[in-house]
Amino acid sequence: MINRVVLVGRLTRDPELRTTGSGISVATFTLAVDRQFTNSQGERGADFISCVIWRKSAENFCNFTSKGSLVGVDGRIQTRSYDNKDGQRVYVTEVVVDNFALLESRKDREARGQNGGYTPNNGNNSTPSTNNFQNNGGSQNNNPQNNNNQNNAQDPFAGSGDTIDISDDDLPF
C-alpha cells in the first residue's frame, strides 16, 4: 500500500517549534495549497493542510521559513486521536513531513518580509508571481541589451565568477 503526499504551498504562519520530554524537536505548521480550479466568481480556493516535522529537519525548517514562505513537502498522511480536557475524543489528520524544499530565493523571501508578507508583481499587489517568463504587458522587447540586463537580474549564477561551459554532447536532445 502507498501513502505518499507531495504538496507545494505557502505557510499560513511561522512554524511552531517545540521539544518533547525526551528532547526530540518537533515543529507544526499549516500549508495553504491553492486549488487548480476557480469557483463561479472566478476566485481560486485553497486547502489548509496541517503538517508536522520531526528532529533536526524541524529545527532547519523553522530556521529557514516563516509566514508566507513557499515550500514543497514530501511525506505521508497520518491520523491520530486524543481526549481533550472536556473528555471528548478529537481526531487529527496531518501530513508527517519526511523531506522539504525551499522554493523561493533568499532575495524573494527578504523582499516579501520587507513588503508586509507579499512580493510585488509589477506593481500589482495580488498573488505573488513565481513565473520568471513575464510578457511585459504583451509587448515584445527586441532590444538585446535590455534582455541581457533582465536576465542578469534573475540569473542565480551571476557574480559567481565561474563560467558554465555546455557542449552539444551535454544536451539531452
Mean pLDDT per segment of 10 residues, for the chain of length 173 residues?
95 94 94 90 91 94 92 95 93 94 84 60 41 40 47 60 68 64
- Please report whether residue 164 resides in a domain: no
- Please report whether residue 41 resides in a domain: yes
- Please report whether residue 166 resides in a domain: no
Q: For position 74, which CATH number holds?
A: 2.40.50.140
* Residue type, position 100, single letter: F
Helices marked H in the chain: 55-64, 106-114, 144-154
pLDDT at 31: 96
- Radius of gyration (C-alpha) of the chain in whole angstroms: 21
* Domain count within the chain: 1
- Please report whether residue 135 resides in a domain: no
pLDDT at 105: 81
Look up the domain containing 48 and give its range. 5-114
pLDDT at 160: 65
- Please report whether residue 25 resides in a domain: yes
- Please report whether residue 68 resides in a domain: yes
How far is it, in rounded angstroms, from Cα 128 to Cα 70?
10
Which among 15, 29, 16, 9 is positioned nearest to 103, based on CA atoms? 9
How far is it, in rounded angstroms, from Cα 58 to Cα 99?
10
pLDDT at 47: 93
